[in-house]
Structure 1
Amino acid sequence: MPLPLKDLLPAALRRSWAVDGTCPDLDLYSLFRARQVGDPHRAAVVDAKGKLCYTALDRKVRCLAVGLRGLGIGPGDVVGVQLPNGRDAVVTDLALAAVGAVALPFPVGRGAAEATSLLRRAEAVAVVAAAEHRGAHPARALTEARAALPALRHVVAAGRGPHPEGALAMRELLRADPTEFVAARPDPDGPARILVSSGSEAEPKMVAYSHNALAGGRGNFFASLMPDRTVPPRCLFLVPLASAFGSNGTAVALARHGGTLVLLDHFTPEAAIAAIREHEPTHVLGVPTMARMILDRLAADGGKLPPPTALVLGGSPLDVTTAAAAREAFGCPVVNLYGSADGVNCHTGLEGLGEGLAPEHGVVAGRPDPRVADIRVADPATHEPVPDGTIGEIVARGPMTPLCYVGAPDLDARYRTPDGWVRTGDLGLIDGDGVLHVVGRLKDVVIRGGANISPAEVERALSAHPLIRDVVCVGVPDPVMGERLAACVVPVSRGPQEGALTLDALGEHLTGRGLDRAKHPERLLLVPELPLTPAGKPDRTALRERAVAGC
């Protein structure tokens, strides 16, 4: 019995977006198939194995779909996917859509305990996992965890490396006869994919999305970044396709827009620079930390990049210093994407909205697009809209709004209003020009001696320091004050900065930016790189532990 996934949006509202053409009203495989028929020899995927055209990709998808159906996997079944960026991940995504199953992708960096928790809570009937990736063996770990997964019937091991006993080989499933394929044609408003939150500060949430919400709502977001929509995009994904940000890959760039995915199975700044120079993508998608690492490497080698149409950065706040440096180095607009797995999306677009704004304005997120997600700012207690210019909780509802949280009615009750709005937990305001500004998190505060400090505010101010490449601020326990603020800083790798980054120097800089002395960090941790979560975001939990150990 498939896991019930109820749509918390009013049915008439959801249908209206299909009727008026906002959403394509087709399932993801049907959309992809139409692209394949229209341009059969166009490159669909470029990865470490080379290029794969739409026709060759479709054949693999059909073979795998037949193989999966032979295992009894069908409409509504949840199937986990733990694969690195590459053609196997794309084939699996589309094959699951073709049989009407619900994909549950999560990055290969997630450990066995967390992966097991996701599969158990989603009642997954199968999982497709890498046999080996960078020294880890996800398929083996999940095979060994089957006793804790009563709904799990199959573990499918993909790629090179030893296949564990008890697991099926994906290459065997790919030997199925593609002529036996029959598409399931699932309801476009039915579930297609479960997005997993980054889990950087708590147990990851799982959020169910429909075909229309992915290809329609998220597809409309990406369409706004395509100046000529008759030219398919060529997208370099630096983030995992298995992340929420990465869901713009197969469903959007491929199925909705007929583009090409350029994929690295593991991010390094050197590999990213090489891929940009070799493949000249129209769009580069990553997180600000990745951009800063690329900028640092470019400064060291003095090379140039062929300019993309846009550098799209999301996942964590983008400061004006990084945006300006990236705009110069990449030679293109830098798009600040504000979004989450929970169902919110807003971006600054190709026009560079908000350039040069001071940190006290918060992070400029752009003008909400009702074809993606309508956004308003509400009172956190009453949920009623507040006047423009007033800070409140950001809430969203629109074509990309998810169905519900998976196996978590408590989260539905906490984060969804009765009429379907998503409560983000983010604080923001909409100014007189209709521009959304994000100023912090409702719960992301450090309480020092009873006074609240917003780490996001301090991070924005510190990011403008000329000797700081990256920064994350976290709270560390203190027996006297309860908590104190620690700044975890990555210095620039060039220039005479030795000994220049001290707490006194940071305090002087923050005073110059107008921040009260009570908000200044009282601990400093210098690190060569920020640790990242499997989704590519700064790992605040790891940094907090290191900051505590260093105190």
Structure 2
Amino acid sequence: MTVQSSPRLSSRFHDLVPVALRRAWAAEGHCPDLDLYALFRARRIADPYAMAVIDTHGEVSYAELDHRARCLAVGLAEAGVCPGDVVGVQLPNGREAVATDLAVAALGAVVLPFPVGRGSREALSLLGRSGARAAIVATEHRGVEHARELAELSASSGELPALRAVIAAGPGSVPDGCLSLADLFRTDASAFTPARPDPDTATRILVSSGSETEPKMVAYSHNALAGGRGNSLASLLPDGMRPRCLFLVPLGSAFGSSGTAVTLARHGGSLVLLDHFTPDGALEAIRAHRPTHVLGVPTMVRMMLDRLPDGHAPQTRLTALVLGGSALDAATSDEARRTFDCAVVNLYGSADGVHCHGGLSTRNAADEAPDSGPGIAVGRPDPGVCEIRIAPLPGGTSGEAGEIIARGPMTPLCYVGAPELNMRYRTADGWVRTGDLGMLDADGTLRVVGRLKDIVIRGGANISPAEVEGELSSHPDVRDVLCVGVPDPLMGERLAACVVPRPGRKPELESLCAHLDARGLERRKHPERLLLVTDELPLTPAGKPDRAALRERVAAEFPTEHAQAG
């Protein structure tokens, strides 16, 4: 079976970066200029028995994974998937999710992964707006029957006219109207010849964490993932080591896109996968599988540290904890560095197309000069990943915080099914408008000050929650903190601090504000509500802090109160 590339692939996902720039980045060596499956296949041929995946079911070699991927590619083709088609994937972390990534790439199709835990209505929206031809979803995951729900919604709603197949994965009976993923894995692939798509065409759609009314979908090319995003990880691999990456975040999240495409295809490493995160499970995986890199979010690390009250981590071979999704405070960074005896890298990045970090230095960028400027210092931009500039805000001046914009080898093609987002978030020459506020220091270090849309407007004055969080994180009673705006009939909005206390502590609002006074934060930026969170800050299915859930909790706790003006 030979798969031919489809000319409609490039027309469906228009590249907003000039072609000449893409070709220049490839010529300069920033991109491998091969499609993802070809990159993976080269790794498999070079070392077929190397370990590719370790999951809850055991170990899978490169040769075994490749065989499964090729069988699935033929099965998907027989189910009607063609080059250029979109295939939705909602699976927990494991070998099936990785093989699916590779199978879709081998067909020259485009994978649209999103984490288990997202509801059926959101799945319907993503699949409908992308024009997905097939969807591979879990038969059941943590009590939710994803495959049955999607098949029933697809049949009854009429919202998925392009969808031809719902494929059920995992144990249990196959719901009516679904195909079996296990059956597709048993397809004969002896005559399969993979597609060879243009490496500058789409291979994966990343889904935002859902801060918009509907999550944004962003199309990435083979070169943008293996090249730009691959270069971001490459700078964290001393002496060209083959990484062994424990992913605590879902592979279906934007952060998780560095799994199959980067860890395996680009760097020939191994993936250590948990089907869901628990702090005890993560610590056990570190003990048992000795990863070189752990990828997660700061809240996950705080939860793991709390399980190690004596400050002794398991014996590891860790090179780095790589943390994204939100800013990491200096106290947690120092504690994690001492406990796990490795570098702690706070990655600034988003699905929209920006990555920056401080590398493997013993002290991270934020620690080098903690008082030298506002916001969080996240490192110097890498031209092999993306160039970063600061666009002045209306009425702003040079040297002030402005919007962070980015363009480079990792820049995505375009937004999917939303031309209005291309108009709003992309410039005519391909720069990504991140919606983040930042500054560049004299030495080129990027400082992230906050989010434009997270700004809380209290009585006409702008407050950046990120700035307040950064100061509150150094309070001795605070383990974790997020600040959110809540509606107020008098001031429009007020700032609420949602705090996870350190064990045995019970911070009060007065104490927090006194701390902010001592840190020099002007009083109009002080929080006026305090919500103590006794367990952990809630996370979205993508593993990021769930600000929307916290806003709802604060609104329920303080429905109509008027705080005194600060």
TM bucket (normalised to shorter chain) is over 0.9
Write the distance in 2 (CA, Å) between the matches of 1:508 and 1:202: 37
Per-residue CA distance 1:156-214 (angstroms, 9 max, x = gap): 01111332110000011111112021101111111000000011454210000000000
| Residue in structure 1 matched with residue 5 of structure 2 by the alignment | none
* 1:355 equivalent among 354, 367, 371: 367
Establish whether residue 76 from structure 1 lines up as the match of residue 84 from structure 2.
yes
Establish whether residue 174 from structure 1 lines up as the match of residue 182 from structure 2.
no
**Structure 1 residue 263: deviation in Å?**
0.1
Residues 137-536 of structure 1: matches in 2 within 5 Å?
Answer: 137-146=145-154, 147-200=158-211, 202-229=213-240, 231-299=241-309, 302-351=312-361, 352-358=364-370, 361-381=374-394, 387=398, 389-493=399-503, 496-497=504-505, 500-527=506-533, 528-536=535-543
| Residue in structure 1 matched with residue 3 of structure 2 by the alignment | none
Paired amino acid for 1:547? V
Write the distance in 2 (CA, Å) between the matches of 1:329 and 1:17: 39
Establish whether residue 47 from structure 1 lines up as the match of residue 47 from structure 2.
no
Per-residue CA distance 1:475-534 (angstroms, 9 max, x = gap): 1111111111111111123xx41xx31111111111111112221111111111111101
**Structure 1 residue 431: deviation in Å?**
0.5
Write the distance in 2 (CA, Å) between the matches of 1:303 and 1:424: 36
Paired amino acid for 1:536? G
Write the distance in 2 (CA, Å) between the matches of 1:302 and 1:440: 34
Q: Is the 8 A contact 1:43 1:54 kept in 2?
A: yes
Write the distance in 1 (CA, Å) between the matches of 2:536 and 2:167: 35
Q: Is the 8 A contact 1:201 1:541 kept in 2?
A: no
Aligned length: 543
**Structure 1 residue 358: deviation in Å?**
3.2
* 3-state SS in 1 of match to 2:355: strand
Write the distance in 1 (CA, Å) between the matches of 2:531 and 2:211: 19
Write the distance in 2 (CA, Å) between the matches of 1:190 and 1:479: 50
**Structure 1 residue 19: deviation in Å?**
2.2
**Structure 1 residue 303: deviation in Å?**
4.5
* 1:113 equivalent among 106, 116, 121: 121
> Which segment drifts farther, 65-74 or 194-203?
194-203
| Residue in structure 1 matched with residue 94 of structure 2 by the alignment | 86
* 3-state SS in 2 of match to 1:487: strand
**Structure 1 residue 307: deviation in Å?**
4.4
Gap change, CA 1:201 and 1:507, over 3 Å in 2:
farther
Q: Is the 8 A contact 1:476 1:547 kept in 2?
A: yes
| CA-atom RMSD in angstroms | 1.5
The two structures have a TM-score, normalised by structure 2, of 0.94
Per-residue CA distance 1:329-358 (angstroms, 9 max, x = gap): 111111110010000011111012331543
* 3-state SS in 2 of match to 1:100: coil
Write the distance in 2 (CA, Å) between the matches of 1:544 and 1:328: 34
Q: Is the 8 A contact 2:120 2:146 kept in 1?
A: yes
Establish whether residue 537 from structure 1 lines up as the match of residue 518 from structure 2.
no
* 3-state SS in 2 of match to 1:306: coil
Per-residue CA distance 1:267-310 (angstroms, 9 max, x = gap): 01000000011111000000111111111111268544424011
Write the distance in 1 (CA, Å) between the matches of 2:130 and 2:332: 38
Write the distance in 2 (CA, Å) between the matches of 1:380 and 1:31: 42
Establish whether residue 548 from structure 1 lines up as the match of residue 562 from structure 2.
no
Paired amino acid for 1:151? A
Per-residue CA distance 1:209-268 (angstroms, 9 max, x = gap): 000000011011111000021x31100000100001100000000000000000000001
Q: Is the 8 A contact 1:233 1:259 kept in 2?
A: yes
Write the distance in 1 (CA, Å) between the matches of 2:54 and 2:72: 20
> Which segment drifts farther, 302-311 or 173-182?
302-311
* 3-state SS in 2 of match to 1:443: coil
Write the distance in 2 (CA, Å) between the matches of 1:363 and 1:76: 40
Write the distance in 2 (CA, Å) between the matches of 1:249 and 1:333: 20
**Structure 1 residue 318: deviation in Å?**
1.5
* 3-state SS in 1 of match to 2:490: coil
Q: Is the 8 A contact 2:16 2:430 kept in 1?
A: yes
Gap change, CA 1:516 and 1:395, over 3 Å in 2:
same
| Residue in structure 2 matched with residue 96 of structure 1 by the alignment | 104
Write the distance in 2 (CA, Å) between the matches of 1:305 and 1:54: 27
Paired amino acid for 2:524? A
Q: Is the 8 A contact 1:390 1:430 kept in 2?
A: no
* 3-state SS in 1 of match to 2:366: coil
Paired amino acid for 1:172? D
| Residue in structure 2 matched with residue 129 of structure 1 by the alignment | 137
Write the distance in 2 (CA, Å) between the matches of 1:373 and 1:353: 18
**Structure 1 residue 361: deviation in Å?**
2.5
Write the distance in 2 (CA, Å) between the matches of 1:248 and 1:459: 28
Write the distance in 1 (CA, Å) between the matches of 2:510 and 2:393: 37
Per-residue CA distance 1:98-128 (angstroms, 9 max, x = gap): 0000000000011001111000000101100
Paired amino acid for 2:460? G
Write the distance in 1 (CA, Å) between the matches of 2:499 and 2:225: 36
Give the unaligned 5+ runs of structure 1: none
Write the distance in 2 (CA, Å) between the matches of 1:447 and 1:379: 20
* 1:22 equivalent among 10, 22, 30: 30
Q: Is the 8 A contact 2:138 2:168 kept in 1?
A: yes
* 3-state SS in 1 of match to 2:238: coil
| Residue in structure 1 matched with residue 563 of structure 2 by the alignment | none
> Which segment drifts farther, 522-531 or 211-220?
522-531
* 3-state SS in 1 of match to 2:325: coil
